[in-house]
Amino acid sequence: MSSSSHASAPPVLSPRQVTLILFALAMGGFAIGTSEFVVMGLITEIARGLGVTEPQVGHVISAYALGVVVGAPVLAILGAKLSRRSLLLALMGFYALGNLASALAPGYHSLMLARFVAGLPHGAYFGIAALVAARISPPEQRGAAVGRVMLGLSISLLVGNPLATWLGQSVGWRWAFAVVSVIALATVAMTMRVLPPGMHAPRPDALRELRDFNRRPVWLALGIGAIGFAGMFCVFSYLSPTLVHVTGVRESFVPFGLMAFGIGGILGTLGGGWLFDRLQFRAVPAVLLWSIAILLLWPLAARSVWTVLPAVLAVGTMGALATILQAHLMDVAREAQTLAAASNHSAFNAANALGPWLGGMAITAGYGWTSTGVVGAMTAVGGLLVYALARREQQRPALVLGECD
């Protein structure tokens, strides 16, 4: 019975149905990505509007990320009795409310609280969406299917975030969150229409799921994301003031920087699925070594308008790590599939909290806006060290079998 979660066959769907389901799931990712990253594009406007400093607005980003960290495992467990369809609808409806609260927040501390609340359903949504995508796809295409769901997040960086930033600069930052709330409600409506019942495999009991989750391969995979991914957020969180104060461009140029990051995010998401289908877990160090090189070059590249956009695009490609680890967790989580898939986004948002915090400390200490690149490279090195431990753990059973022979 231990493999009950894999035993039942998924419903037979037409290619058109699969496409519509993946589109609906990606649309939810688009709403989430637009909301998560828009603070980074409007950091100057929010600071001005609330009468606080830009590093203080960085704490608003961290508050959202901490909401994801807390909400992903908690909501995955609390929603265990619901079908995946019902849980997706509830999570996206809750997300619409959280963003409406963000739009209406009267001050700095209330905005911090609203962003924390908005972050709660983020990880559980992506985790469940990834499992649904994998379940309706052939086994050899799981990485690509997860990548297509995550593509909504990447497209939000290319289209949603620049447009929301432009909207926030033009008519006020609160409107950006209001629009996200509308997109989230539209996602609820489309998901209700295209996602049939019966899209969930049988779940093990909660104790069994927690036992399979609480294993070293799972925790090490999450550790790679929590530490190794912080560098991308360290740079991206302070991209807007870096472009203005270091590159020397006007605030109206910031959406173009966000679009470059979005293009990189799309390339990284698609590339991450492609890499995983070919290299499996060994794709992780390739992405982390690439990340270290990019981040170390950032302080130089940020000084010229001709080099900053290619550098921002390259930083966006680091998002490949999210898709790779999401697919890898499906292989090591055993019966804890839902909890592990949701917790992957807890890990990445631990990185989203860690990156702005470390970057803000370096900036406040007087090391300058571009110090985020060096700080970020150090976190990527940390991710490589955790990968080395995970790889050693992965090879341990083979060593034991070898001794038995």
Q: Render 145-201 in DSSP notation, one character per residue.
A: HHHHHHHHHHHIIIIIHHHHHHHHHHH-THHHHHHHHHHHHHHHHHHHHH--S---P
- Beta carbons within 8 Å of 44's beta carbon, 6+ residues apart: 54, 240, 241, 244, 251
DSSP 82: S
DSSP 107: S
pTM above threshold 0.75: no
User: CA-to-CA distance for 26 and 3, rounded, in angstroms?
Assistant: 28
Q: What is the dihedral of CA 206, 5, 19, 82, to 10 degrees?
A: -30
Nearest Cα to Cα of residue 232 among 397, 385, 348: 348
Average pLDDT value for residue range 364-378: 85
DSSP 247: I
pLDDT at 142 over 80: no
Coil, strand or helix: which one is 42?
Answer: coil
pLDDT at 119 over 50: yes
Domains in the chain: boundaries:
11-404
- Beta carbons within 8 Å of 219's beta carbon, 6+ residues apart: none
Q: Scanning the structure block, which residue is given the tokens 């799931």? A: 25
User: CA-to-CA distance for 336 and 343, rounded, in angstroms?
Assistant: 10
Average pLDDT value for residue range 199-213: 64
Candidate from 42-56, 320-334, 390-404 with smallest mean pLDDT? 390-404
Burial tier of 365 (Cβ tally within 10 Å: 0-12, 13-18, 19+): exposed
CB 260 within 8 A of CB 309: yes
Q: How confident is the model at residue 198 (pLDDT cuts 50, 70, 90)?
A: low
For the chain, the residue count is: 405
User: CA-to-CA distance for 101 and 106, rounded, in angstroms?
Assistant: 10
User: CA-to-CA distance for 218 and 77, rounded, in angstroms?
Assistant: 16
Q: Scanning the structure block, which residue is given the tokens 């996200």? A: 180
Candidate from 16-20, 90-94, 290-294 with smallest mean pLDDT? 16-20
Candidate from 16-25, 78-87, 256-265, 290-299 with smallest mean pLDDT? 78-87
> Quick one: tokens of 171?
């008519």
Q: What is the dihedral of CA 377, 253, 30, 352, to 10 degrees?
A: 30
User: At the top level of CATH, which class does the domain 11-404 belong to?
Assistant: mainly alpha
Average pLDDT value for residue range 250-263: 81
How many helices (H) and strands (E) are present in the chain, helices listed first?
Answer: 20, 0
pLDDT at 64 over 80: yes
| pLDDT for res 114 | 92
Q: How confident is the model at residue 292 (pLDDT cuts 50, 70, 90)?
A: very high
